Amino acid sequence: METFHIIILLLDATFRVATPLVLAALAGMFSERAGVVDIGLEGKMLGAAFAAAAVAAVSGSAWVGLGAGILASIALSLLHAYACVTHKGNQVVSGMAINIVVAGLTPTLGYAWFSMGGQTPHLGGDARFKSITLPFAEAVHDIPVIGYIYAELISNHNIIVYLAAAAVPICAWILYKTRFGLRVRAVGENPHAVDTAGISVDWMRYKALMVTGFLCGIAGSYLSTAHGAGFIRDMTAGKGYLALAALIFGKWRPVPTLFACLLFAFTDAVQARLQGVELPIVGVIPVQFIQALPYILTVLLLAGFVGKANPPKSIGEPYIKER
Amino acid sequence: MSEQSPALELRRINKSFGPVHANKDISLSVDRGSIHGIIGENGAGKSTLMSIVYGFYQADSGDIFVNGQSCHIENPQSSIKAGIGMVHQHFMLVDTFTVLENIILGVEGGYRLSEGLAAARNELIRLEKEYALEVNVDAIVGDLPVGLRQRVEILKALYRGAEILILDEPTGVLTPQEADHLFRILDTLRKQGKTVILITHKLREIMAITDNVSVMRRGEMVAHVKTRETNQAALAERMVGRSVLLQVEKKPANPKDTLVSIRNLNYLDADDVPRLKDINLDLKAGEILGIAGVSGNGQSELLEVLGGMLTPTSGSIRFEGRELVGSKAFTARNLRKIGLGHVPEDRHRSGLILSFSANECTILGYHDKPEYNRGLRLDRKSMVETCQSYIQKYDVRPPDPYLKASGFSGGNQQKLVLAREMEQNPDVLLVGQPTRGVDIGAIEFIHKQLIMMRDAGKAILVVSVEIDEVMSIADRIAVMFDGGIVGEIAASEATETRLGLMMAGVRETRPGAKEAV
């Protein structure tokens, strides 16, 4: 029973950690499937986390905060689009620039507005998304295994965790079963075909990047108003890059990407659990090493185990009409 | 619309790209229900003109009339609405999509795909029957052979209700038999009352299928004639502005020793796909061996292996009795040093550095020769002099050794590469697509140069997807299909039909046996 209990705890932590990864990776999926490299997921999440926490702190409503987070992220996404769709700039440079600007701007604004060393005030009450207890969770808690899993693992998460779970099938449906999805996929594979079909390539990419901004905004807001209780500088800590890695590992497809996110989140949950634990023979493993585990895993997976990833064919190339 | 008005009429169309006046006062009238050819050399402005009709570019001035009505075409959407469809030279298809998905892209009908796909499926089955255009609508486009992809493009245009169909160089990627099939399809379209505009630089096609033909030269429309009232020589003269020899004059070959012998050559690419299968060939001094085949059947790999850019998986290449595979000499650089010259088929990718000046491109690959160096510094004076002598001998225009390679036209770029490789006086010369994108006038010159080298006792291998070119300059022709050599015949015995069948993979060694390799 003890092992079972630990596994449930680990999976529970996995879900919490995976939520922003899944949302950000799906966000990146729309951008990259449309042919625009989005290394700026990190910056957009961070920007959204700050905007959500700041507005939630002032307004006292987590929902208003979420709206602000989404708007901030969409604005950054449009900036990215303006630089690399309208002006055909380098997509990696534009994304990195967004990451750097946001990393500097958020603590600066935070300091100017709240004078708390770059942080936002601690969020409580309605300013933060609270865990939801699903119906019958209490009642079935004592039923062995199934009831216990339902009450401990499935129930008691905040609304954004469930939102992320729902986002996977919804995004898959949009990408594969709708006109918008068909055009997004086409514009990332062969924008010339899209242009000759009478569809504006630039406008399609703008639309895809707005979807990216929307999803990324939810991911960032989760960090500061649901998972955490306020904004801390650099609180994304590479999650945007991790999401991008999961997207590549998942070969730009929604369901494999979900599993990649869960795998990364699981190693993160495990590393948290391993800290300070004494193992036979080796003894206590240095914390730094354990904390590096998810990243080492990322590098290993991307280097060797993904197999041949077939990225969208026109990714990274600004669309320029040929003469 | 009145019955008399032409399907498409252009009046005084002008278009400039910066200093280049691509279309000068072009007027054109295309009869309904006819096949109208537009012929001209590369860069004559044919594609620009049609891109204006399709709404890809805006004309600087001029008017377009469709069915007698003035039509303002500002983007592909409005052109599609006016009933104009275009089959581009480079297919505008998404390789990862199915045929069906490709066809409905842009005309999905509603935000959900399922209904649009179902409706399109029925409509396509009808169209396929009506025009004899069989394609499996559920196939992934990337898996289809080029001939079928082209049909998908035609279906795409018809599905959008095109009454006027523009085809831009449609036969460049087809075997002669596939091209004939395409012509039959076009004929069916004409019979059903559609109007077809065929852009090409191949005279044979104009004579084979069109009703009327318009000739363009240097951005201007120089002639409108009825096809049955003209002939190939007259059209060629109109295109170039002077009379040209369509067939190169040459003496019979006088083959001597075998200089290079290739045995059981195999090559697997990075994905372990066999690209070359048991190639056996001999290159003889004083002879031009032509390699024919539809592009993508291993010709590029063969050239790159022989040029030392790829390492074969197995097999042997002997040069003057010496085994090259596995030896130190087997690199692109060393092969040149021992007398194997190579004119790569893609001059932009491997022949030139477009941002380098002509004199810098002149020494590419030979930059370590003492005559180009003075101590640690390059000897610019000698580079420019060498370049100037090449420019003079090969009639490169403009004659400016300081102009960037990108500033020359395709034909003149090709002359720069040819000059560089030929002037090293190699014993063996490998030439890939010697006249791709080159004007008729320059083609004649390049062919003459190759034949002069042959007569000087060099062994020459010419790889070309232009069947006319191979037939006209080669002495012996080997045909490649799916990475293997289908057969080898003397040029004197070659006919288009024989070569065409071989290009489709039909071996003729066993009489009566028609079997794909």
Euclidean distance between CA atoms B164 and B147, whole angstroms: 21
Asked if the Cβ–Cβ distance from B114 to A177 is below 8 Å, we say: yes
The predicted model gives B77-81 an average pLDDT of 91
Query: Which residue of B21, B92, B141 to mutate against A (max A Cβ within 10 Å)?
Result: B92
Task: Tell me, yes or no, if B90 comes closer than 8 A to chain A by beta carbon.
Answer: yes
Q: Which residue, among B367, B478, B465, B349, has the nearest Cα to B424 in the 3D structure?
A: B367
Euclidean distance between CA atoms B507 and B517, whole angstroms: 8
Asked if the Cβ–Cβ distance from A197 to B76 is below 8 Å, we say: yes
Angstrom CA distances, B99 to A189, B151, B152, B429, stand at: 15, 10, 7, 42
Angstrom CA distances, A158 to A133, A134, A155, A163, B7, stand at: 9, 10, 9, 9, 65
Q: What is the helix (H) or strand (E) element at residue A160, kind and residue range?
A: helix A159-177
Q: Where are the domains of chain A?
A: 2-131+138-305
Architecture of domain A2-131+138-305 in this structure: Orthogonal Bundle (1.10)
Angstrom CA distances, B196 to A311, B251, B269, stand at: 37, 42, 41
Q: Which residue, among B86, B498, B460, B81, has the nearest Cα to B289 in the 3D structure?
A: B460
For residue B269, give how far its alpha carbon lies from the nearest alpha carbon of chain A (Å). 14
Cβ neighbors of A163 (< 8 A, separation 6 or more) are A23, A218
Domains and CATH numbers, chain B: 8-240 (3.40.50.300), 258-350+427-503 (3.40.50.300)
Q: Which residue, among A52, A16, A2, A67, has the nearest Cα to A214 in the 3D structure?
A: A67
pLDDT at residue B513 tops 80: no
Query: Which residue of B105, B165, B269 to mutate against A (max A Cβ within 10 Å)?
Result: B105
Task: Tell me, yes or no, if B105 comes closer than 8 A to chain A by beta carbon.
Answer: yes
Could you give the ipTM of this predicted complex? 0.87
Euclidean distance between CA atoms B279 and B66, whole angstroms: 54
Task: Tell me, yes or no, if A323 comes closer than 8 A to chain B by beta carbon.
Answer: yes
Q: pLDDT tens-digit profile of B80-113?
A: 999 999 998 888 999 999 999 999 999 998 899 9
Strands B212-217 and B274-284, by their bridges, are: unpaired
Q: pLDDT tens-digit profile of B301-311?
A: 999 999 999 99
DSSP string, B468-508: HHHHHH-SEEEEEETTEEEEEEEGGG--HHHHHHHHTTB--
Query: Which residue of B15, B77, B96 to mutate against A (max A Cβ within 10 Å)?
Result: B96
Strands A131-132 and A157-158, by their bridges, are: antiparallel
* Chain B residues with beta carbon closer than 8 angstroms to that of A172: none
* Chain B residues with beta carbon closer than 8 angstroms to that of A323: 17, 48
pTM: 0.80
DSSP string, B71-135: ----SHHHHHHTTEEEE-SS----TTSBHHHHHHTT---SSBHHHHHHHHHHHHHHHHHHHT---
Task: Tell me, yes or no, if B402 comes closer than 8 A to chain A by beta carbon.
Answer: no
Spell out the per-residue pLDDT of chain A, length 323, in tens. 678 888 899 999 999 999 999 999 999 999 999 999 999 999 999 999 999 999 999 999 999 999 999 999 999 999 999 999 999 999 999 999 999 999 999 999 999 999 888 889 999 889 999 998 888 888 888 888 888 888 888 888 999 999 999 999 999 999 999 999 999 999 999 999 999 998 999 999 999 999 999 999 999 999 999 999 999 999 998 999 999 999 988 999 999 999 999 998 998 888 888 777 777 777 777 888 888 877 787 778 777 666 666 789 999 889 987 64
Q: Which residue, among B85, B52, B81, B254, has the nearest Cα to B157 in the 3D structure?
A: B85
* Chain B residues with beta carbon closer than 8 angstroms to that of A177: 112-114
Residues 259 through 288 of chain B touching chain A, CB cutoff 8 Å: 271
- Nearest by CB to A198, which of B75, B90, B112? B75
Task: Tell me, yes or no, if B305 comes closer than 8 A to chain A by beta carbon.
Answer: no
Q: pLDDT tens-digit profile of A138-190?
A: 888 888 888 888 888 888 899 999 999 999 999 999 999 999 999 999 999 99
